[in-house]
Structure 1
């Protein structure tokens, strides 16, 4: 029996014997399901449930590859599942392509693939197709991932910014910025003290909320750019003025400490396991109760509301003293390669 190489070789991407061995020893055992097992040109799926199709794609270049609370594999699955879930879709299937750099340790690859498999199992979504390419040493950065996700929006379900109206209340499912805070802490040697990414699949939480009968108008997951950027995008799309309450926004003490030390604003740091929900005002108390019933929503909070219509949209933060300051889009990124 040929000994498995300790690192990825260029030949692993050449389509020959080593490629086959890599697929059959690493990816297929981790992701095994009937659609994937054929290892043919395309996955053939069972007929889909009734509803509108939702399709999303994403790429992941996070640095470091492993961090407290997650890694590139878990992040790739959760990020794709969450994009579908907050659109109101029930995830049906994922695809995953991995671009490997020559010299990547196969033990690290195994850990990342196993983590992706665990995340997919937790979300109850199969990875039905994939691809692997290898680039020469120095032409990549270990491993990148590219995913796609297919979901179905059930008949009668309608979520979107077109439904947001003045008076809507903005809820967040838990403390913000834990993912971004963890990544930047790792890069500066500050990890520890209970600080870890919030990376998690949100489809179970979304179904729990929507199944309660609460009138939810829109949802988003505040990833790159954080809560402030997501709110700016929503405000622009629905021409509304959004007011966030500084004292109501939950941030873990460890995240606050990292942000203060490095001069970062948690409102602009990514979450990877949190959702923002725009809910009819008279349904907000019930929505908050329902979110808190779920393990991923126990620390949910009401953080603001849609106050008035405003051409072009705007977002402001109201401080404890009642002073309002604008929350604008940043000209760049506070933390690159966050996901």
Structure 2
């Protein structure tokens, strides 16, 4: 099988089709493009999410915390506590474990969440460090999904996380990028949290939010509309791709629209509120733009040079073509 997340079709066929609801507290079952679970305890609704980190090494502890907390925030929740599992190969050093935990602790402090448990194990089952993070949060608003006609706002830049990981982990980048470009690329790893923008967005009539993770922008939009009775169109000219990201993409001959982009958030809301939300985000120092809309026609499409182009996710994130 291809390295990376299962395709939406394979995930549906192999995993999701086997799951069923048996408890009244469970508000939703897993679905394509749905990254959180809501559990109704009466006075409070619990929101849960889990994420692995398999593609990064240099700053894996911090990335593990930010990515999992992002799912809670994008699901309309406030992250509260984290369970962190660390599986390490037999050649790991004590200093590596200490550094990963230090990174995770620092990121958790920044996000105002506590690491309350987990599991740490040395195992021959992996050949590099694997982290898995489960986050527990409190729902502020249960988001039910995009509506036809909604505007789509994207925050920050295309390929944020992928750019930072490649710059950090690939030795040849020290020769390919200038010193300034290297600093710009690595600094993107400091923009991986979407908690601030999600909190701003929740002040509006937001219908859905989605953190752009593995598979990049096209993967995220394709997941959202997979097997739905609505589709999505976005405008290429409205996307923001940093020059250093494009330079890295050109070097490895990869497409930044399929590159993991944690730290960028897709927000769905009524079009008459979109401009105001963009203004609010920019006033808070967060780059944002209206990139498209949800449509009656199913599927995902990109508009480039006035040409409508159907788009589909690739099998595996572009990051794996670089690091594998």
Same fold (TM over 0.5): yes
Query: Which residue of structure 1 lines up, in the alignment, with residue 132 of structure 2?
Result: 146
C-alpha spacing 1:103/1:330, structure 2 compared with 1 (3 Å): closer
Q: What are the Cα deviations for residues 179-200 of structure 1, in whole angstroms up to 9, with x where unaligned?
A: 2133345436125412124453
Runs of 4+ in 1 over 4 A off after TM superposition: none
Kindly report which structure 2 residues correspond to 1:65-84, keeping only aligned pairs within 5 A, or say none: 65-66=57-58, 71-84=59-72
**2: distance between equivalents of 1:103 and 1:288?**
48
Q: 1:278 aligns with which of 252, 258, 268?
A: 268
**2: distance between equivalents of 1:317 and 1:232?**
11
C-alpha spacing 1:50/1:290, structure 2 compared with 1 (3 Å): farther
**2: distance between equivalents of 1:158 and 1:280?**
17
**1: distance between equivalents of 2:79 and 2:227?**
25
SS of residue in 1 equivalent to 2:318? coil
CA contact 2:55–2:319 (8 Å) conserved in 1: no
TM-score, normalised relative to structure 2? 0.78
**1: distance between equivalents of 2:92 and 2:106?**
21
Query: Which residue of structure 2 lines up, in the alignment, with residue 99 of structure 1?
Result: 87
The farther-off stretch of 188-197 and 323-332 is 188-197
Query: Which residue of structure 2 lines up, in the alignment, with residue 334 of structure 1?
Result: 318
Query: Which residue of structure 2 lines up, in the alignment, with residue 207 of structure 1?
Result: 199
Q: What are the Cα deviations for residues 29-54 of structure 1, in whole angstroms up to 9, with x where unaligned?
A: xxxxxxxxxxxxxxxxxxx9943111
CA contact 1:50–1:152 (8 Å) conserved in 2: no
Query: Which residue of structure 2 lines up, in the alignment, with residue 180 of structure 1?
Result: 162
Which structure 2 residue ranges, 5 or more long, are not aligned? 1-40
Query: Which residue of structure 2 lines up, in the alignment, with residue 14 of structure 1?
Result: none
TM-score, normalised relative to structure 1? 0.75
**2: distance between equivalents of 1:129 and 1:120?**
13
Q: CA deviation at 1:134?
A: 1.1
C-alpha spacing 1:280/1:237, structure 2 compared with 1 (3 Å): farther
Q: 1:316 aligns with which of 291, 301, 311?
A: 301
Which structure 1 residue ranges, 5 or more long, are not aligned? 1-47
Q: What are the Cα deviations for residues 275-334 of structure 1, in whole angstroms up to 9, with x where unaligned?
A: 110111000011111222334x2x11111112x313xx3111111x20111111213432
The farther-off stretch of 174-183 and 226-235 is 174-183
Query: Which residue of structure 2 lines up, in the alignment, with residue 288 of structure 1?
Result: 278
Greater Rg by CA: 1
